[in-house]
Structure 1
Amino acid sequence: MKINKYNSLAFAILFGFGLSAQAQTKQWTLEECVRYALDNNITIKLSELDVKNVDIDKKDAFGSYFPTVNGSASHSWNIGRNVNPVTNLASTQTTQYTSLGVNSSVDIYKGLQNQNTYRRAKLSIIASQYQLLKMQEDISLNVANAFLQILSYKEDLKVRKEQLSIDEKRLKRSEEMVNAGTIPRGDLYDLKATIATDQQAITVSENNLLISKLSLAQLLQLKEFADFDVIDDTNAKDENNIMAKSPIDIYNKAKETRTELKLAQTNLEIAEKNVTIAKGAYQPRLSGFYSFRTNASYSDVVTGIDPVTNEPTYAPPAPVFDQFSDNKGHSFGLDLQIPIFNGFSVRNNVERNKVNLEKSKIDLEQKSLDLQRNVYTAFTNAKGALNTYESSTVTLEARQQAYNYAKEKYDVGLMNSFDFTQAQTLLTNAQSDVIRTKYDYIFKIKILEFYFGIPIVPIITK
């Protein structure tokens, strides 16, 4: 019962997909798929935003060269006995007080930390661009793999349908032969079972094709993918003659072009700058400062003491702007800070960055070793895929001849249905092997070209 429900659901999905496919107006090429993915993939978009963030960090580092300027303003009410900040006399009253000021400071010398921070920021931009490029290259390979899987499943489905058509024609002819008494009725039952197996294989192949299309559509971030389809614009030939090159030649070329090595090298340079910046904290820091301030009071001003009552006498306060002019003041100077002891924080920070520097060196060395291993592995895989593809082609030719011979014997009644079905199954399997090994070989060649610096499509940096 579960199997029937599963089959009904699968056929419903496939039927809906088939109706949409009939209305399709476009079939995507490999280059179109890759370019669309590079423009729309969410992971790439996030990586592009990381590049923008690093560019903002560079602006922050550049801003450290300039002085800081900050303004301040305050207004306060003092109730009760307090000291008037303008007259500096104590009295019991409610006073209002306004203060204005401007402060500025600039680093004159800071152990070259500002300069090295700016240089590190420029390296970080390069590293983020390499990271984006590596993401684009990885997406391109993933798209190519998904694209070739679709083509493989499409050809496999074609083979399965052709096999079903042949078996259905055999069934019709066999029914006539059974009625004529030429072959036993048991052969007819075997053939009906074979047709059922063919139909099951078609269902599996259609499911695989549907899933592969959905996978590629998701890589491309397509919102409407019901009518998505691709066209075979690939060629199972080594057009760039990459197999004629030696693995060492490919590896030497890869060392010059591969993004992961450039990224690891840039990260090493960033780690070196981090050590230099940390060591800068050992040196004295000299900065200049300037401050302007003024204030005004809104309280009555004490003018003297009444000789009769012995109480202070008051006069209205001066105009506010006159007070601002009379009470203004300036201060400027130099500030020198010499690090003597900071709880080993500076030393520990230097040591921590030295450890990270060693890790970056090891990472660069490991990336180089990984690249060498990957290149040799890719070359071996491509060579093996080519041999397998050629062998499967030879096998298919032999199976085709064997099938033709078996068909001739079956048609004249010299071979039973079971043996003929076996020959037919071997032919179908050989056809599937050729399809599988063909696209496996194409993808292996793409990987090898990738290491040699030949992209699937040229990546245009923004």
Structure 2
Amino acid sequence: MKLCLIIATFFYLQVSFSQVKDSIPLKVWSLEKCIAHAIENNITIKEATLNKSITETDYKAAKSSRLPNLTASGSTSFSNGNSIDPITSNFVSDQIYSTNIGLNSSIILFQGNQINNQIIQNELLLKQSIFIEKEVKNNITLSVLENYLQILHAKEGIIIAENNLQSTEKEVEQAKARLDAGTITLSDYTEAQSQAATNKYILINAKNTYQQYLISLKQLLELDPTHNIEIKNLDNNTDFPLMALNEIAIYKKALNVLPEINASNLEIEASKKGMDIAKGGYLPTLSLTSSLGTGYTSVNETMTFSNQLDFNFNQKIGLSLSIPIFNRNQTKAAVQKATINIEKAEISKTNTQKEIYKKVATAYQNAIATQEQLVAAKTSMKAAEQSYKLAKKKYELGNLSTADLVISQNTYTNSQQNYLQAKYLNILYQQLLKFYQGNRITL
């Protein structure tokens, strides 16, 4: 009985969960909404923001290094036999209880200008982290755009697959009737059945592809797996004119608007400041020191503890100068590393410029190609559609074999897929070209 109760409870919960999940209304998400949600919630962006916060903390710490430090100290000790009284500095041969209390402070007046250069370097790194955060946001934006268009492509692919399956199912019914009437052979009938099974397989794959892209988009948006979403379809007008600018003009604009270049420039400046910091190790360090102190000793039996603390109170102030002579070539090595870091930063900027040009040129050439492909694919699709309609009429009249009808249908299906691919690739590359010029992505 207990086992039956557990099983019944399990199935009840499963059904209840399924009903609740199915009852959740679908939310229609536009591209703009997806991008906004991803920028606010994506984990990769949050990591970049946290890294920026760390850099900001380092900058504040560097500015605080100009301030003096302050430490408090206290100690108590017991000695027996011949010793020097730590308070009076007298040589005594007795048991001594002593207590010392003090405050110490120091401030660096000059350290080869390293403190100022460190502050400037951390400020540059903070500015760089802001551009790096923007770069990460841009990357997520483009990932959302690509995934969004893939979902739309897959949705239209499902519609094509469903229409094809419906057509082949009707053709199977027609072929069965003609087989029963003895007007076609069994091989013609099985050909129709095979095509219907193939189209059903294609439909299953299309739906699976759609779900996979939907999962990827949910992850970019950091949505719960049980969250149901629906993607807003595009307007009927999908003709996008090519950009008037050529790829060089777009590339020059991209250099001015994309954050990667600013981040690279700041990295070079920060590396040069690293060189100034390293060279500061060759210069002397001048510090101002001060202290307040007092103490108690058991040797002085004529004064109480509080009276001794008041009597022994002292103040000190002084200057400390440290001149580097030889530090085992540590400063020399630091200067060499700083030189290498500058060269690496400059090479990194060159690579960034090359990558931006490659992205712009690739998007531009692909935009031209897909626009031409879109026109050709549209013409081909219309011709294939007319051909397939004629083939179906001939098939209904018994003037066309099943194999020829299948060939005509596959030709039409391929032309539809080619048109869809050219359509969404053209949209993608046109949006990329807009984005590289600093324009907002909109569909």
TM-score computed with the length of structure 1 as normaliser:
0.87
Are 1:211 and 2:196 counterparts? no
With over 3 angstroms needed to count, the CA separation of the structure-2 counterparts of 1:126 and 1:237, relative to structure 1, is: farther
How far off is 1:32 after superposition? 1.3
Aligned partner letter, 2:260: E
8 Å CA contact 1:214–1:225 kept in 2: the answer is no
8 Å CA contact 2:271–2:345 kept in 1: the answer is yes
Q: Unaligned stretches of 5+ in structure 2?
A: 1-16
Query: Whole-Å Cα distance in 2 between the matches of residues 331 and 19 of structure 1?
Result: 77
How far off is 1:131 after superposition? 0.7
Q: Alpha-carbon deviations, 1:26-83, whole Å to 9, x = none?
A: 1211111111111111111111011111111111111111111111111223355544
With over 3 angstroms needed to count, the CA separation of the structure-2 counterparts of 1:283 and 1:236, relative to structure 1, is: farther
CA RMSD of aligned residues (A): 2.2
8 Å CA contact 1:235–1:442 kept in 2: the answer is no
Q: Alpha-carbon deviations, 1:183-208, whole Å to 9, x = none?
A: 33432221111111111111111111
Are 1:327 and 2:328 counterparts? no
What's the counterpart of residue 389 of structure 2?
404
With over 3 angstroms needed to count, the CA separation of the structure-2 counterparts of 1:17 and 1:235, relative to structure 1, is: farther
8 Å CA contact 1:271–1:356 kept in 2: the answer is yes
With over 3 angstroms needed to count, the CA separation of the structure-2 counterparts of 1:50 and 1:229, relative to structure 1, is: same
8 Å CA contact 1:101–1:294 kept in 2: the answer is yes
8 Å CA contact 1:217–1:225 kept in 2: the answer is no
How far off is 1:351 after superposition? 1.8
With over 3 angstroms needed to count, the CA separation of the structure-2 counterparts of 1:318 and 1:261, relative to structure 1, is: same
Q: Alpha-carbon deviations, 1:142-171, whole Å to 9, x = none?
A: 111111111111110111111111121222
With over 3 angstroms needed to count, the CA separation of the structure-2 counterparts of 1:46 and 1:236, relative to structure 1, is: farther
How far off is 1:22 after superposition? 7.2
Q: Unaligned stretches of 5+ in structure 1?
A: 1-15, 302-315, 458-462
Q: Alpha-carbon deviations, 1:223-277, whole Å to 9, x = none?
A: 23452332224677465x5522111110111111111111111101101111111
How far off is 1:179 after superposition? 2.8
With over 3 angstroms needed to count, the CA separation of the structure-2 counterparts of 1:65 and 1:23, relative to structure 1, is: closer
What's the counterpart of residue 257 of structure 2?
257
8 Å CA contact 1:27–1:228 kept in 2: the answer is yes
Query: Whole-Å Cα distance in 2 between the matches of residues 292 and 168 of structure 1?
Result: 98
8 Å CA contact 1:278–1:346 kept in 2: the answer is yes
For residue 194 of structure 2, give the secondary structure of its aligned residue in structure 1.
helix
Q: Alpha-carbon deviations, 1:327-386, whole Å to 9, x = none?
A: 122221111222222222212211210111122122222322332232222211111121
For residue 283 of structure 2, give the secondary structure of its aligned residue in structure 1.
coil
- The structure 2 residue matched to 1:432, chosen from 413, 417, 427, is 417
Q: How many residues align?
A: 425
What's the counterpart of residue 30 of structure 1?
31
With over 3 angstroms needed to count, the CA separation of the structure-2 counterparts of 1:78 and 1:266, relative to structure 1, is: same
- Equivalent residues in 2 for 1:140-151, closer than 5 Å: 140-151=141-152
With over 3 angstroms needed to count, the CA separation of the structure-2 counterparts of 1:187 and 1:394, relative to structure 1, is: same
Query: Whole-Å Cα distance in 1 between the matches of residues 230 and 19 of structure 2?
Result: 11
What's the counterpart of residue 272 of structure 1?
272
What's the counterpart of residue 294 of structure 2?
294
What's the counterpart of residue 11 of structure 1?
none
Are 1:446 and 2:431 counterparts? yes
- Equivalent residues in 2 for 1:75-154, closer than 5 Å: 75-79=76-80, 82-87=83-88, 88-93=90-95, 95-154=96-155
What's the counterpart of residue 418 of structure 1?
403
What's the counterpart of residue 378 of structure 1?
363
- Equivalent residues in 2 for 1:224-235, closer than 5 Å: 224-225=225-226, 227-233=228-234
Moved more, 420-429 or 357-366: 357-366
8 Å CA contact 1:171–1:191 kept in 2: the answer is yes
8 Å CA contact 2:26–2:230 kept in 1: the answer is no
With over 3 angstroms needed to count, the CA separation of the structure-2 counterparts of 1:426 and 1:133, relative to structure 1, is: same
Query: Whole-Å Cα distance in 2 between the matches of residues 25 and 234 of structure 1?
Result: 20
For residue 296 of structure 1, give the secondary structure of its aligned residue in structure 2.
strand
Aligned partner letter, 2:270: I
Query: Whole-Å Cα distance in 1 between the matches of residues 185 and 19 of structure 2?
Result: 39
What's the counterpart of residue 157 of structure 1?
158
Aligned partner letter, 2:348: D
8 Å CA contact 1:17–1:226 kept in 2: the answer is no
How far off is 1:214 after superposition? 1.0
For residue 281 of structure 1, give the secondary structure of its aligned residue in structure 2.
helix
Q: Alpha-carbon deviations, 1:425-452, whole Å to 9, x = none?
A: 1111111221122111111112222211
Query: Whole-Å Cα distance in 2 between the matches of residues 344 and 191 of structure 1?
Result: 84
How far off is 1:139 after superposition? 0.7
What's the counterpart of residue 3 of structure 2?
none
Q: Alpha-carbon deviations, 1:105-150, whole Å to 9, x = none?
A: 1111222211111111111111101111101100111111111111
What's the counterpart of residue 312 of structure 1?
none
Aligned partner letter, 2:107: V
8 Å CA contact 1:242–1:449 kept in 2: the answer is no
How far off is 1:391 after superposition? 1.5
With over 3 angstroms needed to count, the CA separation of the structure-2 counterparts of 1:235 and 1:242, relative to structure 1, is: farther
Are 1:347 and 2:332 counterparts? yes
8 Å CA contact 1:236–1:439 kept in 2: the answer is no
8 Å CA contact 2:26–2:229 kept in 1: the answer is no
With over 3 angstroms needed to count, the CA separation of the structure-2 counterparts of 1:242 and 1:99, relative to structure 1, is: farther
What's the counterpart of residue 53 of structure 1?
54
Aligned partner letter, 1:263: A
TM-score computed with the length of structure 2 as normaliser:
0.90
Aligned partner letter, 1:441: N
8 Å CA contact 1:236–1:442 kept in 2: the answer is no
Query: Whole-Å Cα distance in 1 between the matches of residues 114 and 236 of structure 2?
Result: 56
8 Å CA contact 2:295–2:309 kept in 1: the answer is yes
Q: Alpha-carbon deviations, 1:394-431, whole Å to 9, x = none?
A: 11011011111211211211111110111011111111
With over 3 angstroms needed to count, the CA separation of the structure-2 counterparts of 1:103 and 1:430, relative to structure 1, is: same
Are 1:243 and 2:243 counterparts? yes
What's the counterpart of residue 40 of structure 1?
41
8 Å CA contact 2:289–2:319 kept in 1: the answer is yes
